[in-house]
Structure 1
Amino acid sequence: MRTPTRRPGSDDGSTTVEYAVVTVAVAAFAAVLYTLLTGDSVVSWLTNLVMKALTVPS
């Protein structure tokens, strides 16, 4: 007696879902990065770094 075999479910749309998940993850990462880089401490650190690079030692 043969056992009936089940066919795997369809993978239709799985690629689209993967792209959607990756897109949401990238957007969340960009939001966190933007928040960190626009904070006062980072802006002042970058400003000081640029000012040091542009000053001529006397």
Structure 2
Amino acid sequence: MRTAQAARRSRWWWPVRAGGDAGMTTAEYAVGTLAACALAAVLYKVVTSGPVSAALQQLIVKALHATF
């Protein structure tokens, strides 16, 4: 009786413990990190480009010289 009950319990818990996609979470984090780095690189290139950089500098200078 005891072994039959243990066998039923182990069959029920086995798929939960040893799932087929055990390393999937790590892979998802790696892909997400890679995508975030790629997006950051693209944004860096856009912000440091000539026209965008000049517009940001002009905006900052205008904000610093604003009177209340």
Q: For the superposition of Structure 1 and Structure 2, which TM-score range results when normalised by the shorter chain?
A: 0.7 to 0.9
TM-score by length of 1: 0.73
Q: What is the aligned length?
A: 50
Q: Which has the higher contact order (CA 8 A, sep 6+)?
A: 1
Greater share of residues in helix: 2
Counterpart AA for 2:45: T
Gaps of 5+ in 2: 1-14
Structure-2 residue corresponding to 1:36: 46
TM-score by length of 2: 0.63
CA RMSD in angstroms, aligned pairs only: 1.9
CA distance in 2, matches of 1:23, 1:53: 35
Write out the 4+ residue segments of structure 1 that deviate beyond 4 Å after TM superposition.
none
CA distance in 2, matches of 1:33, 1:56: 28
Gaps of 5+ in 1: 1-6
